Amino acid sequence: MLLAIDVGNTNIMAALFEGDEMAASFRMTTQTPRTSDEFGIMLTSLIRSNGYDEKQIDAVIIASVVPVVMHALINASIKFFGTRPLVVGPGTKTGIRLIRTNPAEVGPDRIVDAVAALAIYGGPVIVVDYGTATTFDYFTADGAFEAGVTCPGIMLSLRALWSGTAMLPEIQVKDPGTIMAKNTETSLQAGILYGKIGEAEYIIDRLKAESGVDPETIKVVATGGLAATIADATDRIQYLEPNLTMYGLKIIYDRNK
């Protein structure tokens, strides 16, 4: 079995693949520092809780935007699963061409998402990832990374409000039903949700307009923890795939094995 791991700034997502099928997925917080033993024990526990055994793992692939965890995570893979992981980075065969930027500056998660979006939906494509940051990446039909837009994430924006003000409460991110807010809670919900919808629609429209290709040919795929909340409220997002990164890691592993 293949264990695919995506290390984000907030969460570590992982999935088990049996052949081409995703057999299970799970997540844990990106707490640092952790030792290789702590990583190994947590991963094996999560694997067992999903009905599998760590002895079934014969390959591991990792994409990470948190370099500080990698030494321990790589050693955990070697110690607990008996395999050195494939780490997505410069030199990894992905099929994505970084022609207008320094490859070292592009987060591997953005490349992994693009690999899956292009393979599943085709290009040209805009990949919107609602993570700690919200990113909008445009890729051509032949896999060239043309543009990337980075915005504060939904929860990051809310935490900035909560930490920077004395009287604003923590809220659940959901549609208040109207922008005509009548109290503090719905005012915050309207500001965050409708503001992020407006952000998505404007950036997607602008990327399409400046792409130089027929806007109707450009697909838009969204992923990430709160992607469904935005995707349900706008017609700009055509496809929603919560496991886009996991599928991308599986495709990259297959291209490199």
User: Domain count of the chain?
Assistant: 2
Task: Show which residues are catalytic.
Answer: 109
Taking the alpha carbons at both ends of the chain, their separation in whole angstroms is 13
Query: Is the same domain home to 237 and 146?
Result: yes
- Residue 169: per-residue pLDDT: 73
Phi, psi of 180 (to 5 degrees): -80, 70
Of the two residues 180 and 31, the one the predictor is more confident about is: 180
- Residue 256: per-residue pLDDT: 95
172-206 pLDDT, tens digit each: 788 888 999 888 889 888 998 999 999 999 999 99
- Residue 225: per-residue pLDDT: 84
**Three-state DSSP class for residue 195:** helix
Q: How far apart are CA 200 and CA 222, in angstroms?
A: 10
Query: Is the same domain home to 111 and 51?
Result: no
DSSP string, 43-74: HHHHHHHTT--GGG--EEEEEES-GGGHHHHH
If you ran DSSP here, which 8-state letter would residue 225 be given? T
Contact (Cβ atoms closer than 8 angstroms) between residue 211 and residue 146: yes
Query: Is the same domain home to 79 and 128?
Result: no
Q: What average pLDDT does this structure show over 51-64?
A: 96
Whether residue 219 is contained in a domain is answered as yes
Query: Is the same domain home to 71 and 136?
Result: no
Whether residue 98 is contained in a domain is answered as no
Contact (Cβ atoms closer than 8 angstroms) between residue 146 and residue 118: no
Percentage of the chain beyond pLDDT 70 is: 97
- Residue 167: per-residue pLDDT: 67
Query: Is the same domain home to 32 and 145?
Result: no
Whether residue 257 is contained in a domain is answered as no
Query: Is the same domain home to 70 and 127?
Result: no
- Domain of residue 80: give its range: 2-87
Whether residue 41 is contained in a domain is answered as yes
Query: Is the same domain home to 124 and 236?
Result: yes
Task: Say yes or no to pLDDT of 101 above 70.
Answer: no
